[in-house]
C-alpha cells in the first residue's frame, strides 16, 4: 500500500526575482498631505475596488488604520531586511529577533537581503509568506484586516539606488499618508505620492506573513498554491491543515488545495478530514487516480475494508502513472480482508 502525494509535491515552486542590492537606514522626510498617483494606483480611486466612500476612501475600508501593536526593531544599516521580517513574524505570532534572522536573509557581499531570502526565511519559521498583487489597494486591504505588510522601497535616485525594507502598519486616508516602521523610526508617516514613487521602483513589491488559517485577501489561486507547497517543506502537517482548509473554503473547486488538505491531514492523523478531502476530489475529478488511491488508503486505515477495496479497484482501472501505487494499495487491502476472514 502506498500513499500518493501527487500535485502537492510535484508542483514546481517559482519564487520572486531578486532586486535588492543594499539597504538604507533612514527614509526621506515625508511631505504631508499631497494627493496624486502612487505608482500604479490613483489615490482618488484605487484600482480594483468597487467604489469609494464620500470621503474618498476605498469602499468597505475604514478611513484610518494603525496597527500599533506591531513589534518594533530599529533597523541598523544594511539590516532592514532582518528587522522588517522580525516585525512581521512577531505580529503573526512567530516571535523572532533580527539577530536570529540575519544569518537567514542577510547577504554580506550584497550588503542587504533579497526578496527570495525574505520569503524563505519566514517559511522556515513555519509561517505562510506570500507576495501581494502590485497595487495599493491590496496593501490597504491587508492593513485594514490587521496585517502589517513588508514593502520594498528605493529611497535613492535613478543613478544611485538605496533599497530599503519597511513595514507598513497603517494609513490615514484623509491625510493621504501611509504609516511605516522604517529605519530607526517606530512611526514614520509618508504621503501617498512619495511612498508611491519609492515603492514603484521595486515593482510595488510587498509581502505578508500570516498565521495558520489566514490567507492574503487578494491572493490568486495559482500563486498561493506555490506558496503553500513551498511552506510544506518547513511547517508541521497540522499547521498546513489549517492553511489548506482556508484555501479549500475559498476555492472549493480547486483539487490541489483539497489534495494538500488530505495529505497533511493524513500525516497529522486527522483521518476524518483526510477522508472528506479526498472524497471531494474524487467527486470533482472521478478519474483522478492519486485521489482515489489516497481515499482507499484512508478507508483501510479506518477499518472500512470493503469500501476501501471498491475505491482501490477504481484507482487501478485508470491505468495511468499512479497505477503501481494503486495496485500496491489494492493488494494490501485484499490481504487485510483475507486476514479478517481467516
Of the candidates 216, 213, 203, the one whose C-alpha atom is nearest the C-alpha of residue 18 is 203
Where along the chain do the CATH 1.25.40.10 domains lie? Answer: 213-341
Distance between start and end Cα atoms, the chain: 21
Q: What is the DSSP string of 221-273?
A: HHHHHHHHHHHHTTS-HHHHHHHHHHHHHHSTT-HHHHHHHHHHHHHTT-HHH
Q: What is the pLDDT of residues 277-296, one digit of tens each?
A: 999 999 999 999 999 999 99
**Is 313 a residue whose pLDDT tops 70?**
yes
What is each CA distance from 172 to 40, 149, 329, in whole angstroms?
A: 19, 15, 59
What is the pTM assigned to this prediction? 0.81
Contact between 40 and 206 under an 8 Å Cβ cutoff? The reply is no
Mean pLDDT (whole number) for 95-113: 72
Where along the chain do the CATH 3.90.70.10 domains lie? Answer: 37-210
Mean pLDDT (whole number) for 251-267: 97
11 φ, ψ (degrees, to nearest 5)? -65, 130
**Is 190 a residue whose pLDDT tops 60?**
yes
Whole-number pLDDT of residue 36: 28
pLDDT band of 27, cuts 50, 70, 90: very low
Whole-number pLDDT of residue 106: 56
Strand pairing class (163-172; 128-131):
unpaired
pLDDT band of 199, cuts 50, 70, 90: very high
Whole-number pLDDT of residue 25: 26
With pLDDT > 70 as the criterion, what percentage of the chain qualifies?
A: 80
Mean pLDDT (whole number) for 3-30: 34
Whole-number pLDDT of residue 4: 66
**Is 152 a residue whose pLDDT tops 60?**
yes
**Is 9 a residue whose pLDDT tops 60?**
no
Pick one of 1.25.40.10, 1.10.490.10, 3.40.50.2300, 3.40.1360.10 as the CATH number of 213-341: 1.25.40.10
Whole-number pLDDT of residue 158: 66
Contact between 316 and 326 under an 8 Å Cβ cutoff? The reply is yes
Average pLDDT, the chain: 83
Whole-number pLDDT of residue 77: 66
Q: Which tops the pLDDT comparison, 75 or 152? A: 152
Whole-number pLDDT of residue 103: 77
Angle at 229 between CA 223 and CA 235, to 5 degrees: 130
Dihedral-angle region of residue 211 (phi above 0 means left; psi in -120 to 50 means alpha; beta otherwise) = beta
Whole-number pLDDT of residue 11: 35
Whole-number pLDDT of residue 316: 96
Q: What is the DSSP string of 107-149?
A: ETTTTEE-HHHHHHHHHHTT-EEEEPPSSHHHHHHHHHTT--E
Contact between 18 and 115 under an 8 Å Cβ cutoff? The reply is yes
How far apart CA 267 and CA 277 sit, in angstroms, is 13
**Is 258 a residue whose pLDDT tops 70?**
yes
Contact between 87 and 70 under an 8 Å Cβ cutoff? The reply is yes
339 φ, ψ (degrees, to nearest 5)? -65, -40
How far apart CA 206 and CA 219 sit, in angstroms, is 12
Q: Where are the beta strands (DSSP E) in the chain?
A: 37-38, 41-42, 64-66, 106-107, 112-113, 128-131, 149-154, 163-172, 177-182, 185-191, 206-210
Contact between 256 and 293 under an 8 Å Cβ cutoff? The reply is no
305-318 vs 323-341: helix crossing angle, rounded to 10: 150
Whole-number pLDDT of residue 306: 97
Q: What is the pLDDT of residues 32-77, one digit of tens each?
A: 322 222 333 333 333 333 344 445 667 789 999 999 999 999 977 6
Query: What CATH number does the domain located at 37-210 have?
Result: 3.90.70.10
How far apart CA 195 and CA 143 sit, in angstroms, is 16
Whole-number pLDDT of residue 81: 87
How far apart CA 146 and CA 208 sit, in angstroms, is 11
Amino acid at each position: 500500500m502506498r500513499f500518493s502525494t501527487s500535485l502537492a509535491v510535484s508542483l514546481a515552486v517559482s519564487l520572486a526575482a531578486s532586486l535588492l542590492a543594499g539597504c538604507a537606514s533612514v527614509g526621506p522626510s515625508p511631505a504631508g498631505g499631497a494627493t496624486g498617483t502612487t505608482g500604479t494606483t490613483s489615490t482618488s480611486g484605487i484600482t480594483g475596488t468597487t467604489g469609494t466612500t464620500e470621503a474618498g476612501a476605498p469602499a468597505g475600508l475604514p478611513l484610518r488604520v494603525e496597527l500599533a501593536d506591531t513589534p518594533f526593531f530599529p533597523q541598523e544599516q544594511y539590516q532592514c531586511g532582518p528587522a522588517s521580517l522580525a516585525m512581521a513574524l512577531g505580529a503573526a505570532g512567530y516571535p523572532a529577533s533580527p539577530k536570529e534572522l540575519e544569518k537567514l536573509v542577510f547577504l554580506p557581499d550584497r550588503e542587504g537581503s533579497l526578496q527570495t531570502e525574505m520569503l524563505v526565511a519566514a517559511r522556515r519559521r513555519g509561517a505562510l509568506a506570500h507576495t501581494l498583487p502590485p497595487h495599493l489597494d491590496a496593501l490597504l486591504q491587508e492593513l485594514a484586516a490587521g496585517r502589517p505588510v513588508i514593502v520594498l522601497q528605493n529611497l535613492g535616485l535613478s543613478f544611485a539606488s538605496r533599497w530599503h525594507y519597511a513595514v507598513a502598519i497603517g494609513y490615514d486616508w484623509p491625510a493621504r499618508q501611509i504609516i511605516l516602521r522604517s529605519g530607526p523610526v517606530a512611526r514614520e508617516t509618508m504621503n501617498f505620492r512619495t511612498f508611491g514613487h519609492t515603492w514603484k521602483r521595486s515593482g510595488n513589491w510587498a509581502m505578508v506573513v500570516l498565521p495558520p488559517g489566514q490567507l492574503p485577501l487578494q491572493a490568486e489561486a495559482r500563486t498561493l498554491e506555490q506558496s503553500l507547497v513551498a511552506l510544506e517543506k518547513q511547517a508541521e502537517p497540522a499547521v498546513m491543515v489549517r492553511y489548506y482548509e482556508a484555501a479549500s473554503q475559498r476555492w472549493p473547486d480547486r483539487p490541489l488545495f483539497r489534495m494538500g488538505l488530505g495529505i497533511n491531514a493524513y500525516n497529522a492523523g486527522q483521518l476524518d478530514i483526510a477522508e472528506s478531502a479526498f472524497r471531494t476530489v474524487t467527486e470533482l475529478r472521478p478519474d483522478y487516480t492519486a485521489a482515489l488511491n489516497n481515499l482507499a488508503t484512508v478507508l483501510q486505515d479506518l477499518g472500512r475494508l470493503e469500501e476501501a477495496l471498491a475505491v482501490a479497484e477504481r484507482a487501478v482501472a485508470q491505468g495511468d502513472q499512479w497505477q503501481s501505487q494503486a495496485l500496491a494499495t489494492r493488494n494490501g487491502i485484499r490481504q487485510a480482508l483475507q486476514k479478517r476472514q481467516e
